[in-house]
Amino acid sequence: MPRKSSSGRKLVFTIIAWTIGLLMFFPIFWTAVAAFKTESDAYTLPQNWLSTPWTLENFGIVQERSNYVRYILNTIGIAFLSTLLGLLFAVPAAWSMAFSPVTKPSIDWSGKRWLGTILGCAAVAGLILYVSVNWDLTGHPLLGMLMLILFITPIVLWVFSRNTTDALLWMLSTKMMPPAGALIPIYLIFNRNGLVFKDWGWIDLSEWNLIDSFWGMIPLMMLLNLPIIIWMLYTYFKEIPTEILEAARMDGANVWNELTKILTPMAVPGIVSTCLLNLILAWNEAFWSLNLTNKYAAPLSFFISEYSSPEGQFWAKLSAASLMAIVPILIVGWFSQRQLVRGLTFGAVK
Amino acid sequence: MATSHSQSLGKWALAPSLAALTAWAFVPLSIAIYFAFLRYNLQSDNTGWYGLSNFYYFFSDPYFLKDLFNTIVLVFSTLVITVVGGVFLAILLDQPFWGRGIVRVLMISPFFIMPTVSSLVWKNLIMHPVFGLFAAIQKFFGATQVLDWFGTVPLLSVIIIVSWQWLPYAALILLTALQSLDEEQKDASEIDGAGPISYFRYIVLPHLSRPITVVILIETIFLLNIFAEIKVTSVGGFAGNLTYLVFSQLNDANDVGEAAAGGLVAVVLANIVSYFLVRIVGKNLEG
Amino acid sequence: MGTFQLSKVRKAFGDAVIIPGADLAILEGEFIVFVGPSGCGKSTLLRLIAGLEDVTSGTIGIDGKDVTEAPPSERGLAMVFQSYALYPHMSVRDNIAFPLKMHKVPKAEMDAKVAEAAAKLNLTDYLDRKPRQLSGGQRQRVAIGRAIVREPTAFLFDEPLSNLDAALRVNMRVEIMQMHKEMKATMIYVTHDQVEAMTMADRIVVLNRGNIEQVGSPLELYNKPNSLFVAGFIGSPKMNFIEDNSLGVRPEHIALSDKKGDWQGTVKLAEHLGSDTFLHVDGGQRGQLTVRANGESAFGPGTMVWMTPEKDRIHHFDKSGKAVGK
């Protein structure tokens, strides 16, 4: 491009870019402003912003009326704990796939094998069902569970025999499952009066209720994002030169030492990026939060949604509540852009 | 370093995650299949085998076709807006100008806002027919009748909100990809006599084809399942998508059986879409 | 101490056979070099000895003990990698101390050994630096320090000098050889550079596509190569092969004259190194020949020359590439 008039070009681009940037950011900015105005003033238009008084009252009111702190704690707790739990599962998994990859599937699945396994399992399941309960499963959920396991067996065998690349891709594909499909099953599992709630004899689960339960949300969030965590860690681990780990082996390190003294310190930036991404995903998650929580375990996304059918004027309070919900993630996002790109594209773009 | 010792250890290290994800992938699915064929309403005690009735009722629901249509329109328009806009923004952000870092931060911010917040802010602060910014702008230009966004064009409103959120995502990804384009290629094309348009068409666009593919794939996965923006703005009746329809079967009708069936339909649809998507655009990705 | 016995060692990755079967005995205290072109399996063989890869079949013994199933930490070996493989998050001191730490050596002894190794390698001033703050040569020394601090049964080197520039390479070569003289430990050294092999080795193992072609001292391989491959690999510039690969004679064993000789040819190109001149001669039906002339040669491009090979320096090969005669 011609070097002349680069100042002029720069000016033009500056104007265009700043305009678009400010336009994109404007809704956020306005929310921030409205949060500091009284309810009656919250609706003032930009030209009146400087003339109306600023106030902190909204934050107080929100906290007073609805114990806002609880929702913040829920959000933080669910986000952090599900991330931690995810790491617990994902670090060994990513380690195994990055450094001891399986190149050949351990079971060769031909069409005949598939057919045989599926038919076999189906036959056994059907037989047991017929003989014991004549196909009527109501009242015998345990049996239903057993049949489930039998039905899943071929699939489980297939999954565990995969080579590493296929296993990774399969894991990613579980993320693509529409939540709408899992809504009923999860609802039924979590609900009192659902599938699990019952006195089973050998274990009494009649107190079971995971709806609106903090500890119910955590494993769910973990499962939702586990594929992404594993994938991101995998790409970061793959960047560590194998020779360094081999040197550790030669130096006499056992597997534990290798993991803790060599791998983890070197992988810290990658682990941190993965945690940040997961925090963002868990914090902003809406579908399950809206459906499965209500009062006690509700994170911020649920709480804000309560403002959709309020009484009276509420915009300033909505803005105040929203501000506190979005600022932490905005800051995290601003500082971890590069790392996020890797996670948000499943590693395809670096 | 793949000795047999480390490989067997590796299998054990991988097992918990594989087991968890297998359970997550197949247990809900099996349960859904079971209940889809069951007559099960939370409010009535009448349960039993229902055959394909749940599916029939789901498909013949007056909202079904509309919501299916909405789903497709929502996904498609958002994709177009975000990809085209994303390319444009990426190129813009790649140019030298003052305050690039700050503008970049401003532009990517919408993506980090949780959907419930963005929906309510747009509905009440911006698109509100009485107090909203858009209303004020219309009045400023002398309009007498102000457009009630969520009342008259709910689907378009949802599309605007969703695009606003995802445009930064596309822009960020494409900008990162753009910045990996070798400066030398630009110089070489200059020497070869290419102007900016040709440079864009023959060098930049092909380089971006792979990230665009990834953006489309990932956005589609998320856009098919948009939920919060529709529920929170209470436009499920007019601008609902399939996900919302399934939800309303459970929430409004308490019909577990039909909701399960609907969920399965959503799963099948998602699989069909991703199959074709991967076929069409997957050629751009490495094997 | 430091003897190795490899018996019918075979390594295959699935269907790809890297090493069909290797038998080798390594003597105590010798500096033995595995050499060969890229992909010949020399690094693989080294890694099998180290325990970083499992053998598909065969046995490996160290000092008479079977270590085929033993992990690297139990074999008492130390390895210096091509890319040094230093731990980037640890200081030089911690890098060198790491193997001692893994073997639970008490702190006082550990500090003493680290100091000793650092002094020997001129690293004392750098002990608190991180690897990224060091030059290539310094990093190499840290890698060596990490290896010697354990006083292992034997040292394994995997192309340690390939990443260094030419001048540094020569210096490090000398240093490694001095190390060998002082420590008197067995050293197994892998390189693709036959000059390194020739200058450093007590014995050389020439590998070709996983097979051990020949084992012998540098001069043995130079004077009595047992195959076309070894003859062509050892010696720079390469041996001249004529008459359909049945005869071979080295460039330095051909005398030049402008009047008379056995073979006639025209000089195509002359490479002047100052100490030698390498003439690329078109020998007509004998093909391209390389001839070495001492010092500055008067023969330039276009001149007609007569070449006479030294009679007892001609090598004969049969159809299968094996050396015959002598």
Positive/negative CA dihedral, A198, A200, A201, A205: negative
Boundaries of domain holding C45: 4-223
Are C146 and A251 an interchain contact pair (Cβ–Cβ within 8 Å)? yes
- Compute CA distances B164 → A33, A40, A195, B147, whole Å: 20, 28, 40, 19
Residues C249 and C164 in one domain: no
CB C42 within 8 Å of CB C35? yes
CB C124 within 8 Å of CB C118? yes
B10-32 per-position pLDDT tens digit: 778 888 888 888 888 888 887 88
Which of B35-44, B112-121, C294-303 is most confident? Answer: B112-121
Residues C213 and C245 in one domain: no
Q: Which residues contact C296 (CB under 8 A, 6 or more apart)?
A: C272, C274, C277
Task: Work out the minimum CA distance from A25 to partner chain B, whole angstroms.
Answer: 5
What is the Cα–Cα distance from A81 to A90, expressed in whole angstroms?
14
Task: Work out the minimum CA distance from C127 to partner chain A, whole angstroms.
Answer: 19
B217-266 per-position pLDDT tens digit: 889 888 988 888 888 888 888 888 888 888 888 888 888 888 888 888 88
DSSP H helical ranges for chain B: 4-36, 53-59, 64-94, 100-108, 115-120, 133-140, 149-152, 154-179, 183-191, 196-199, 205-223, 228-232, 236-239, 242-251, 256-281
Whole-number pLDDT of residue A42:
65
On the question of pLDDT at B285 being above 60, the answer is no
What is the Cα–Cα distance from A57 to A50, expressed in whole angstroms?
18
What is the Cα–Cα distance from A303 to A319, expressed in whole angstroms?
13
- What is the band of A104 on the pLDDT scale with cuts at 50, 70, 90? low
Is there a domain that residue C253 lies in? yes
Q: Collect all residues of chain C within an 8 Å Cβ-Cβ radius of residue A244.
A: 85-88
- What is the band of A97 on the pLDDT scale with cuts at 50, 70, 90? confident
- What is the band of A200 on the pLDDT scale with cuts at 50, 70, 90? low
On the question of pLDDT at C206 being above 90, the answer is yes
Secondary structure class of A97 (helix, strand, coil): helix
Q: How many separate domains does chain B show?
A: 1
Task: Work out the minimum CA distance from A236 to partner chain C, whole angstroms.
Answer: 16
On the question of pLDDT at C62 being above 80, the answer is yes
Boundaries of domain holding B82: 75-241
Which of A194-198, B275-279, C101-105, C203-207 is most confident? Answer: C203-207
Whole-number pLDDT of residue B1:
45
A2-26 per-position pLDDT tens digit: 555 578 888 888 888 999 999 999 8
What is the Cα–Cα distance from C45 to C159, expressed in whole angstroms?
13
Report B:117-176 residues touching A (Cβ under 8 A): 117-122, 124-126, 131, 133, 136, 164, 167-169, 172-173, 176
Q: Subunits touching C (CB < 8 Å, at least 3 pairs)?
A: A, B
For residue A185, give the nearest of B32, B110, B164 by CB distance: B32
Rounded to the nearest 5°, which phi and psi values hold at C257? Answer: -150, 150
- What is the band of A311 on the pLDDT scale with cuts at 50, 70, 90? low
The answer to whether residue A40 neighbours chain B at the CB level (below 8 Å) is no
Is there a domain that residue B205 lies in? yes
The answer to whether residue C52 neighbours chain A at the CB level (below 8 Å) is yes
Tokens of A138: 């109501």
On the question of pLDDT at B156 being above 70, the answer is yes
Residues paired with C212 in a beta bridge: C207
- What is the band of A109 on the pLDDT scale with cuts at 50, 70, 90? low
On the question of pLDDT at A143 being above 80, the answer is no
Which residues of A lie inside 8 Å of C (Cβ-Cβ)?
A: 103-104, 241, 243-244, 246-254, 257, 262, 265-266
Give the CATH number of the domain where residue C294 resides: 2.40.50.140
Using DSSP bridges, classify how beta strands C31-35 and C186-191 pair: parallel, antiparallel or unpaired.
parallel
Mean pLDDT of chain A: 80
Residue of chain C nearest A266, judged by CA positions: C89
Is there a domain that residue C97 lies in? yes
Residue with tokens 């990996």: B180
Angle at B82 between CA B79 and CA B85, to 5 degrees: 135
Is there a domain that residue B11 lies in? no
- Which residue type, as a one-letter code, is found at position B207? H
Q: Which residues contact A314 (CB under 8 A, 6 or more apart)?
A: A39, A307
The answer to whether residue C89 neighbours chain A at the CB level (below 8 Å) is yes
The answer to whether residue C51 neighbours chain B at the CB level (below 8 Å) is yes
Residues C252 and C311 in one domain: yes
What is the Cα–Cα distance from A260 to C96, expressed in whole angstroms?
18
Residues paired with C227 in a beta bridge: C322
- What is the band of B282 on the pLDDT scale with cuts at 50, 70, 90? low
What is the Cα–Cα distance from B270 to A190, expressed in whole angstroms?
25
pLDDT, mean of residues B162-179: 92
What is the Cα–Cα distance from A265 to C130, expressed in whole angstroms?
14
CATH code reported for the domain at A68-105+164-308+323-344:
1.10.3720.10
Q: How many separate domains does chain C show?
A: 2
Q: Which residues contact B10 (CB under 8 A, 6 or more apart)?
A: A95, A96, A97, A99, A100, A102
Is there a domain that residue B270 lies in? no
What is the Cα–Cα distance from C121 to C142, expressed in whole angstroms?
8
R_g of chain B computed on alpha carbons: 24
CB A66 within 8 Å of CB A274? no
Angle at A174 between CA A171 and CA A176, to 5 degrees: 125
On the question of pLDDT at A317 being above 90, the answer is no
Is there a domain that residue C234 lies in? no
For residue B120, give the nearest of A43, A307, A333 by CB distance: A307
What is the Cα–Cα distance from B268 to B274, expressed in whole angstroms?
10
Are B5 and C71 an interchain contact pair (Cβ–Cβ within 8 Å)? yes
Are C88 and A266 an interchain contact pair (Cβ–Cβ within 8 Å)? yes
On the question of pLDDT at B57 being above 60, the answer is yes
What is the Cα–Cα distance from A14 to A11, expressed in whole angstroms?
5
Q: Collect all residues of chain B within an 8 Å Cβ-Cβ radius of residue A330.
A: 109, 112-113
Is residue A174 exposed (0-12), middle (13-18) or buried (19+ Cβ within 10 Å)? middle
DSSP of C88-106: TTS-HHHHHHHHHHHTT--
Q: Subunits touching B (CB < 8 Å, at least 3 pairs)?
A: A, C
Whole-number pLDDT of residue A117:
73
Closest CA to C293 of C241, C247, C257, C259: C257
DSSP H helical ranges for chain C: 42-50, 92-102, 107-120, 136-148, 166-183, 194-200, 218-223, 228-233
On the question of pLDDT at B82 being above 90, the answer is yes
Give the CATH number of the domain where residue C73 resides: 3.40.50.300
pLDDT, mean of residues B151-163: 89
Is there a domain that residue C51 lies in? yes
On the question of pLDDT at A226 being above 90, the answer is yes
CB A313 within 8 Å of CB A206? no
Render the burial of A179-206: b for 16+ CB within 10 Å, e for the rest: bbbbbbbbbbbbbeebbbbbeeeeeeee
A34-48 per-position pLDDT tens digit: 888 777 766 666 656
ipTM: 0.84
Are C85 and A243 an interchain contact pair (Cβ–Cβ within 8 Å)? yes
Closest CA to B212 of B75, B84, B107: B84
Tokens of C85: 């493989």
Q: Collect all residues of chain B within an 8 Å Cβ-Cβ radius of residue C53.
A: 1-3
Whole-number pLDDT of residue A142:
63
Residue of chain B nearest A148, judged by CA positions: B30
Is there a domain that residue B13 lies in? no
A323-333 per-position pLDDT tens digit: 888 999 999 88
Whole-number pLDDT of residue C215:
94
Closest CA to B229 of B215, B240, B245: B240
Residues paired with C278 in a beta bridge: C271, C292
- Compute CA distances A302 → A72, A298, B122, C107, whole Å: 11, 6, 17, 56
Mean pLDDT of chain B: 83
CB C4 within 8 Å of CB C49? yes
Residues paired with C272 in a beta bridge: C277
List the domain boundaries for chain A: 68-105+164-308+323-344, 107-161
Residue of chain C nearest A253, judged by CA positions: C102
What is the Cα–Cα distance from A171 to A231, expressed in whole angstroms?
9
Whole-number pLDDT of residue A204:
65
CB C230 within 8 Å of CB C197? no
The answer to whether residue A320 neighbours chain B at the CB level (below 8 Å) is no
Q: Collect all residues of chain C within an 8 Å Cβ-Cβ radius of residue A100.
A: none
Whole-number pLDDT of residue A348:
67
Is there a domain that residue B207 lies in? yes
Report C:2-41 residues touching A (Cβ under 8 A): 14
For residue A250, give the nearest of C77, C82, C83 by CB distance: C77
- Least confident span in A110-124, A264-278, C88-102, C132-146: A110-124
CB B103 within 8 Å of CB A21? yes
Residues C162 and C250 in one domain: no
On the question of pLDDT at C44 being above 90, the answer is yes
CB B53 within 8 Å of CB B261? no
Are A344 and B16 an interchain contact pair (Cβ–Cβ within 8 Å)? no
Whole-number pLDDT of residue A221:
92
Residues paired with C13 in a beta bridge: C16
Q: Collect all residues of chain A within an 8 Å Cβ-Cβ radius of residue C72.
A: 246, 249-250, 252
Residues C199 and C273 in one domain: no
What is the Cα–Cα distance from B111 to A157, expressed in whole angstroms?
39
CB B97 within 8 Å of CB A306? no
What is the Cα–Cα distance from C149 to C165, expressed in whole angstroms?
26
Residues C31 and C114 in one domain: yes
Is there a domain that residue C259 lies in? yes
Are B111 and A159 an interchain contact pair (Cβ–Cβ within 8 Å)? no
pLDDT, mean of residues C35-39: 90
pTM: 0.80
Is there a domain that residue B258 lies in? no
pLDDT, mean of residues C197-214: 93
Cβ contacts from A onto B, under 8 A: 319
Is there a domain that residue B37 lies in? no
Are A349 and B17 an interchain contact pair (Cβ–Cβ within 8 Å)? no
- Which residue type, as a one-letter code, is found at position C250? R
B180-229 per-position pLDDT tens digit: 887 788 788 878 877 788 888 888 888 888 888 888 888 988 898 888 88
CB A326 within 8 Å of CB A28? yes
Whole-number pLDDT of residue A64:
77
Closest CA to C189 of C26, C306, C300, C75: C26
On the question of pLDDT at C101 being above 60, the answer is yes
The answer to whether residue B9 neighbours chain C at the CB level (below 8 Å) is no
Task: Name the more confident of C272 and A208.
Answer: C272
What is the Cα–Cα distance from A283 to C276, expressed in whole angstroms?
74
Could you report how far apart the first and last alpha carbons of chain B are, in Å?
A: 25
Q: Collect all residues of chain C within an 8 Å Cβ-Cβ radius of residue A266.
A: 87-89
The answer to whether residue C86 neighbours chain A at the CB level (below 8 Å) is yes
Residues C147 and C291 in one domain: no
Give the CATH number of the domain where residue B109 resides: 1.10.3720.10
CB-CB neighbours of A115 under 10 Å? 11
Whole-number pLDDT of residue C217:
94
C222-238 per-position pLDDT tens digit: 999 999 999 999 988 88
Residues C95 and C184 in one domain: yes
The answer to whether residue C73 neighbours chain A at the CB level (below 8 Å) is yes
Q: Which residues contact C222 (CB under 8 A, 6 or more apart)?
A: C198, C234, C235
- What is the band of B287 on the pLDDT scale with cuts at 50, 70, 90? very low
Closest CA to C150 of C184, C117, C189: C117
Closest CA to B72 of B224, B272, B243, B259: B224
Closest CA to B116 of B151, B80, B43, B165: B165
Whole-number pLDDT of residue C235:
87
